[in-house]
A = this chain, B = another copy of it.
Amino acid sequence: MTKFKELLQNSFSLSGLAEEHAHGLSEIAQPMSLKSGAVLFKAGDPGNGCYAIIEGSMKVSVVSVDGSEQLLAVLGQGSLVGEIALLDGSERSATVTALKPSQLAFISKAAFYRYADENPAVYRHMLQIVATRLRRSNDALAARSFLPLNGRVAQTLLQLSETFGKQVDNNKILVHYKISQAEIANMAGGARENVSRVLNVWKREGVISRLSGYYCLEKPEVLRAAAEL
């Protein structure tokens, strides 16, 4: 078995798929790699398949005419990306860009359906993934309408901690991912300057801290309270 297939199987297992299907899918996937900053596809492109992230990380975003950007998600190893267009047969709904050098596995629409028709577990798994994303997206939308900026920043930090967090001490969480204020602002949907202000207030209050470039959530409860709908 190639190194790629092994990684790929791990990736699929990571995402919660049973061993046998992780194997089956790895058979039909095409390897590909992207340099940091490379665009996988843009909103509006035709979509004929989806990708599994084997290594690296990608951002999913929507860009407006004036160039400003809304990040929908930052995805890492084991995540699936590009599934919406595959499933509803329409064009790509967002732009996906590599944040680091990344290894992907492409699964074509035809191959996906061919395999899944034989293995309904794959359908169930896919439904799970998409449903969870829908739930997230709805939550973000609700946050947008109910929470002021600091609440949305809190939500963003907590979300990042879900994907990249490492527990340290008792209930302190280190977000093991280099992220700039500008990116946090794009996720939280606010101006970078204001995000800076919010973060500094929390820094002074000891709610968060920065350890060698990484954010550390010192008092996650405070953030959770701020992100409460």
Complex Cα distance, B137 from A186, in Å, reads 17
Q: Which of B65, B84, B117 makes the CB contact (< 8 A) with A131?
A: B84
The answer to whether B133 touches A123 (Cβ under 8 A) is no
Complex Cα distance, B128 from A130, in Å, reads 10
Closest to A188 in B: B145
Complex Cα distance, B124 from A120, in Å, reads 10
The answer to whether B70 touches A131 (Cβ under 8 A) is no
Complex Cα distance, B210 from A161, in Å, reads 48
Contacts of A68 in B (CB 8 A): 145-146
Which of A88-96, A97-105, A212-220 touches B? Answer: A88-96
Q: Which of B116, B135, B146, B189 makes the CB contact (< 8 A) with A123?
A: B116
Q: Does A126 contact B (CB under 8 A)?
A: yes
Q: Which of B63, B120, B128, B229 makes the CB contact (< 8 A) with A62?
A: B229
Q: Does A72 contact B (CB under 8 A)?
A: yes
CB distance from A192 to the nearest CB of B (A): 13
Q: A141-B144, A189-B144 are in contact. Are A124 and B113 (CB under 8 A)?
A: yes
CB distance from A141 to the nearest CB of B (A): 5
Contacts of A141 in B (CB 8 A): 62, 70, 72, 137, 140-141, 144
Pairs A-B, 6 closest by C-beta atoms: A87-B131, A123-B123, A137-B137, A88-B131, A62-B142, A64-B146
